[in-house]
Amino acid sequence: METKVVVIDKTNIRDEELLEAAKILRRGGLVAFPTETVYGLGANALDEEAAKKIYAAKGRPSDNPLIAHIAEYQELEGLVAGIPGAAGRLMKAYWPGPLTIIFAKSSKVPYGITGGLDTVAVRMPDDPVARRLIRLAGVPVAAPSANTSGKPSPTTAAHVYQDMNGRIDMILDGGPVGIGVESTIVDVTGETPALLRPGAITTEMLRETLGQVEIDPAIAGPVGDNVKPKAPGMKYRHYAPKAELVLVEAEAAKDKTAGGETGEKPAGVSPEVIQTICRKALEDMAEGMEVGIICTDETRDRYPEHARVRSLGLRHREETIARNLFGVLREFDDLSVDRIYSESFSEEHLGRAIMNRLTKAAGYHVLKV
Ligand code: AMP
Ligand code: MG
């Protein structure tokens, strides 16, 4: 299959440019498109056969459900069995935006997109290309991240092209995304709303809107074989670069150093973390390995010259760190590094999502120093 790439100017979107993409979606094809979080791989969410093509193109396990994206509030009614009060408050506060809500599903939603679950994940994205496309398609659009299953999510159309060229009908290139990590997922089907995946709508924001919010244990680490994670995607290897990634973290008490004087946030990466990464990198390079290092602007000059050192930005600019993270992981794939060491980050606010992606990318390999 030939994959057509269409460049869209976000500041001047013309319907003519999106009509072909909308038609492809309506007739059961696949179109990748930008959203504010990451690029999505879209198909008609009410068409089981179309959804199957998503799983095939991504190599995604069929029990890992998809998020249905909508452009108008009225579309929600057809997808869900009911709208709990907590969902209403969340939608009012954060839609359109980077928040996915889990509802009890209606009979219209095929099990083929929910991984066999009786619930459905729904989001109304804020990106103008995504919304216009969904509106023109006239159907809810199932859209997981447009990467090969297991790889870092795509934050540019070039990332999508690398993974999906020849596998899908069209890629809409709307430029680099704004947020760079996937949507926050909240389950409102239980008694207490539960956070299933952290994202740009932070736990602090959710608690302000909802009061109590549980945090699903699968976010913090691998759950046992006998526990079924609430978000089925949690159990799979995710966001992973080809190289082994080691996250280096200071024991809590030491993590208060360097540059913390001015801001409220612990700016710090401890000297122990920097020393450990330097020592390990030098050892690996002495054995002939290519080593990548993930750091911030404050520390980039502290690492060995011959390592591939990449900064995610200034440490307190969490938005920048999040936006750059997957791109840097993919760059290391292109450079064929053998091992990557990464500094770790504060887990407050957007930091929780950043650390969640990093720990999963590292396969939970965290080195405490
Ligand atoms: P992706 O779109 O690739 O970022 O993945 C979507 C995520 O949403 C996966 O981790 C799923 O496990 C989660 N998800 C989708 N539908 C549901 C659902 N009905 N219940 C719980 N989690 C869901
Ligand atoms: Mg994904």
Cβ < 6 Å from ligand 1: which residues? 64-65, 67, 102, 114, 117, 119-121, 144-145, 182, 185, 196, 230-233
What was the pLDDT predicted at 267? Answer: 56
- Residue located nearest, by CA, to atom 2 of ligand 1: 144
φ, ψ at 202 (rounded to 5°): -80, 165
- Ligand 1 centroid to Cα of residue 232, in Å, is 7
- In the DSSP assignment, the letter for residue 309 is E
CA dihedral 177, 22, 111, 79 (to 10 degrees): 90
> What whole-number distance in Å separates Cα of residue 86 and Cα of residue 105?
16
Distance of CA 322 to CAs 120, 180, 319, Å? Answer: 27, 6, 5
Which element (helix H / strand E) includes 246? Answer: strand 244-249
The end-to-end CA distance of the chain, in Å, is 50
* Distant-in-sequence, close-in-space partners of 107: CB < 8 Å, separation ≥ 6: none
Query: What residues pack around ion ligand 2 (CB closer than 5 A)?
Result: 145
Q: For the residues of 91-139, what is the DSSP string, one character each? A: HHHH-SSSEEEEEEBPTTS-HHHHTT-SEEEEE----HHHHHHHHHHTS
- Ligand 2 centroid to Cα of residue 259, in Å, is 34
> What whole-number distance in Å separates Cα of residue 183 and Cα of residue 190?
20
- Give the ligand 1 atom nearest the CA of 197: 10
What was the pLDDT predicted at 262? Answer: 41
Which element (helix H / strand E) includes 171? Answer: strand 170-173
φ, ψ at 13 (rounded to 5°): -85, 130
> What whole-number distance in Å separates Cα of residue 205 and Cα of residue 198?
11
pLDDT tens digits, 31-70: 999 999 999 999 999 999 999 999 999 999 999 999 999 9
Residue from 37, 55, 79, 102 to probe ligand 1 pocket by mutation (most atoms less than 8 Å from CB): 102
pLDDT, one tens digit for every residue, the chain (369 residues): 999 999 999 999 999 999 999 999 999 999 999 999 999 999 999 999 999 999 999 999 999 999 999 999 999 999 999 999 999 999 999 999 999 999 999 999 999 999 999 999 999 999 999 999 999 999 999 999 999 999 999 999 999 999 999 999 999 999 999 999 999 999 999 999 999 999 999 999 999 999 999 999 888 877 776 777 787 777 777 888 999 999 999 987 554 544 444 434 345 899 999 999 999 999 999 999 999 999 999 999 999 999 999 999 999 999 999 999 999 999 999 999 999 999 999 999 999 999 999 999 999 999 999
- Residue located nearest, by CA, to atom 13 of ligand 1: 231
